[in-house]
Amino acid sequence: MFESISYHKQKTIIIVSFLLIPMILLGLFTYYPAVKLIYYSFTNWDGYSPEKPWVGLSNYKEVFANSDIFKVFQHNFAYLVMGILQNIVAIYFAIILSSKLRGKNGFRIILFLPYIMNGVAVAFMFGFVFDTTNGSLNMLLNSIGLSSLGNTSWLGTEGLVNYSLASTGFWRFMGYNMVIYIASLQAIPRDIYEAAKIDGANAMQTLWRITLPNMKAVIQLNLFLTVTGALEVFDLPFVLTKGGPAGASQTYVMRVIESAFAYNNYGLASAMSIILLLFVVIVLLLQQFVLSRGGDK
Amino acid sequence: MNNSKFHFIDYIKYVTLLIGVFVVLFPLYVVIVNAFKSTDEFNASSSLTLPKSFFNIDNFITVFQRGGLLTGFGNVLIIIIITLTFNILLGTMVAYVLGRFSFKLKRMIFGAYLVATVIPSITTQVATFGIIKSLGLYNTLGAPIVLYIGADVIQIILYLQFIRNIPYDLDESAMVEGASLFRIYRSIIFPLLTPATATLVILKTISIYNDMYIPYLYMPKQSLGVVTTVLMRFQGVNSADWNMICAAILLILLPTVVLYVFLQRYIFEGVTSGSVK
């Protein structure tokens, strides 16, 4: 039935009809909520009443004035530290697995395995590993003679709980980063290495002068994901510790969700979300800035 | 001299790799061995020891009976099938339009997908929640479906890469024969995108199966549990019975691990193609 219409007209029809539903979905579930969030952040809406009293900037003032709210970012810091460590380990394994090595495919498959696993199941799995009395980590430590560490309450000690949780994230996502780094290594042309070899470069020089500079863009991307991931941590502490002990593992996003859905303070929660969004944008811009400056050299 | 140095480096490589493998497999080992222990056996033995018998599947049966795991698998399967059908259809349509035509808003539409990834979707749920409620989708399978259906930027980039590799001559010769553009999409582009579609189906199946937050938020109803929320409820009730929880964990990990073992090539392709670009 379309055959009789000119291609020019068909093109318009196809563009409009093919994009209509996707654009509605994108608008309705991504951009419209974001705009609404900005609006809510200037009200003290409770989530169900029809009126949404305008309160101006007072939600934002509260976020910045209430030192309690920003303090939770200290908990997020553990995830940043572990995330950076995770990238370093991932780069190391990626380089090893890109060299001549027997069984490298098998190693890659095993190291990537945690990434495809169900996050809630993994969280409970580590709940068991970290358990103080029945936990297998303490049993392992005791059985190899480290009994001084073997009674640690990994999820019940204030200064430790975030690092225990973040190490679970490390376990889950290191292989993902590694696989991306392996792909970026494979994209480096072989002849650069040949040339370096002819010029007498040693392994260390090759790593610093060729391998790492060529991975720069991918490292930047992974670091962006690491930093924003650390800012947005939610599911692990939510499932495993519920923010405990005594709020020591509560993260910023948990606090946002709690403000909205537990305390019905949608206005404050929205302001906190917008501030988080701004942080993500700042990280992105900083990185672009550093990237473009680095590119000038 | 040189030779022995090389051996030393290889030695370090293998030792670190084996440490990595041990760290990955240790938690899994612990969950596997304890899932097969009865409660008495669990209490009496160290959590590192093997069970008396790997044929003791009582825990698994209990999990199925008490945990509502079948409902969870059923619901998540329905969500995956409906979501992916629409998602693949809509995703290929967007990619066809963006990959084959030039028009005014093209860059803006791609940009809209790109910028969407920066918005933290967990916190925007505060506002999305109201939208889902006013659409009457709260506490229905429709809520996760409409939220998952939209294409993401990785998907569009992956499809665009494939479309660029489909020679435009194919489109042109079809046009010479008088085929409509819709027919070109249906009979040429869509079938030729199958490898990318296969990759996406697998990756999206895994990510929907593993998602906790959206089902938790939008489907609190008992009968609408998916595997993640079923597991959370089961753990809430049986939090002291680690052997039961281990069995539940194993049952829930199994499907994606099986997918991974058989279809890893597609998974690696999908994971790398989006991000290395």
Nearest to B267 by CA among A229, A183, A85: A183
Q: Which of B17, B69, B117, B216 to mutate against chain A (most A CBs within 10 Å)?
A: B17
- Provide mean pLDDT across the span A187-200: 87
**For residue A139, what pLDDT is reported?**
80
Q: Cα separation of B180 and B154, whole Å?
A: 29
Q: Which of A26, A96, A114 sits opposite B113 (nearest CB)?
A: A26
Mean pLDDT is lowest, of A218-232, B19-33, B44-58, B255-269, for: B44-58
DSSP string, A26-65: HIIIIIHHHHHHHHHTTB---SSSS---B-TTHHHHHHHH
Is domain A66-296 given the CATH code 1.10.3720.10 in the classification? yes
B272: closest chain A residue by CA = A180
* Better pLDDT: A92 or B241: A92
User: b vs e for A139-150, b when ≥16 Cβ sit within 10 Å of the residue's Cβ?
Assistant: bbbbeeeeeeeb
For the stretch A9-32, pLDDT in tens is 899 999 999 999 999 999 999 999
- % residues pLDDT > 70 (chain B): 96
**For residue B275, what pLDDT is reported?**
57
Residue A188 sits at the chain B interface (C-beta within 8 Å):
no
Mean pLDDT is lowest, of A137-151, A168-182, A239-253, for: A137-151
Domain boundaries, chain A: 66-296
Residue A128 sits at the chain B interface (C-beta within 8 Å):
yes
**H or E, element range at A284:** helix A266-296
Tell me: pLDDT of A295 over 50: no
Most confident of the ranges A37-51, A134-148, B168-182: B168-182
**For residue B239, what pLDDT is reported?**
78
**For residue A67, what pLDDT is reported?**
80
CB B69 within 8 A of CB B229: no
For the stretch B170-190, pLDDT in tens is 999 999 998 999 999 999 999
- Provide mean pLDDT across the span A175-201: 89
Residue-level length of chain A: 297
Task: Enumerate the residues of chain A whose CB falls inside 8 A of the CB of residue B96.
Answer: 14, 18
**For residue B1, what pLDDT is reported?**
43
- Provide mean pLDDT across the span B138-146: 96
pTM of the model: 0.89
Are A111 and B232 a contacting pair at CB < 8 A? no
Residue A11 sits at the chain B interface (C-beta within 8 Å):
yes
**H or E, element range at A94:** helix A73-98
User: b vs e for B163-199, b when ≥16 Cβ sit within 10 Å of the residue's Cβ?
Assistant: beeeeeeebeebeeeebbbbebbeebbbebbeebbeb
**For residue A2, what pLDDT is reported?**
62
- Provide mean pLDDT across the span B91-110: 94
Task: Enumerate the residues of chain B whose CB falls inside 8 A of the CB of residue A240.
Answer: none
Q: Cα separation of B36 and B90, whole Å?
A: 45
- Provide mean pLDDT across the span B208-217: 93
Class for domain B59-272, per CATH? mainly alpha
A–B CB contacts, 8 A cutoff, strictly below: 247
Residue B101 sits at the chain A interface (C-beta within 8 Å):
yes
Q: Cα separation of B137 and B143, whole Å?
A: 5
pLDDT range class, residue A87, cuts 50, 70, 90: very high
Q: Which of B20, B31, B179 sits opposite A128 (nearest CB)?
A: B31
- Provide mean pLDDT across the span B83-100: 96
How close B128 comes to chain A (CA, Å)? 5
Cα-trace Rg, chain B: 24
Task: Enumerate the residues of chain B whose CB falls inside 8 A of the CB of residue A202.
Answer: none
How close A37 comes to chain B (CA, Å)? 6
- % residues pLDDT > 90 (chain B): 61
Q: Which of B126, B131, B132, B233 to mutate against chain A (most A CBs within 10 Å)?
A: B126
Average pLDDT, chain A: 87
Domain boundaries, chain B: 2-56, 59-272
